[in-house]
Structure 1
């Protein structure tokens, strides 16, 4: 995987927040934020479009990119404490959902530096072991492939 793929995935992961542009450009209410762009259906639509663009030979890549897009709405659902939450099931249900596990996604609600640091430590505690495990598995698999190719 090269850095272009990682960058594209990162961009896709923040695209749902471009709904702020709809609010600014069309002078819409803040109720548009975390609506259709954050929904599970939109994640599937983006994935389908990517499969169409990349082709079925690159379906795993397209699904990974779609998961990056979908992760935004899911993470906002997990972290939203203030406000209405996320319209995860748009257009079928217009109710907004939130768990409010950690409120680090809502900086405009006066989060302090210590709260931000605490949220970062929690995130690091959750994701660093997963990243380390994935890197170790990757290295184990790659070293196994290298040794089997050397034997052949």
Structure 2
């Protein structure tokens, strides 16, 4: 085997583990940063609560169905709910006029990424504590 072939063979073999290790380090850093940001950006001492959708739900910038659509969560998705707010009353799935919306993110330093509690598993607050109202 020539030196060039040996270099290529072992160089490739070493690049894969290094690449995988680098990707793992980057992903770990991203997850840690997001978790750290989430834990620092809470409301009135409430660390947030995991909430789960029971069907697909639109994500809105504010707690109104007419506000900017930011995306959607699929059915049975679990995410961190920061706080809840009163907004547009929603009637769907046998629920009449529930005006509770749960913030699942921050946009430009403001609680955002709202989803109607009508589409969350749990009680009328979507499983959020009573004291976790958004400021």
TM-score higher than 0.5 here?
no
| Structure (1 or 2) with the greater helix fraction | 1
Higher Rg of the two aligned structures: 2
Higher-RCO chain (CA-CA 8 Å, sequence separation at least 6): 2
Q: TM-score, normalising length from structure 2?
A: 0.25
Q: How high is the TM-score relative to the length of structure 1?
A: 0.23
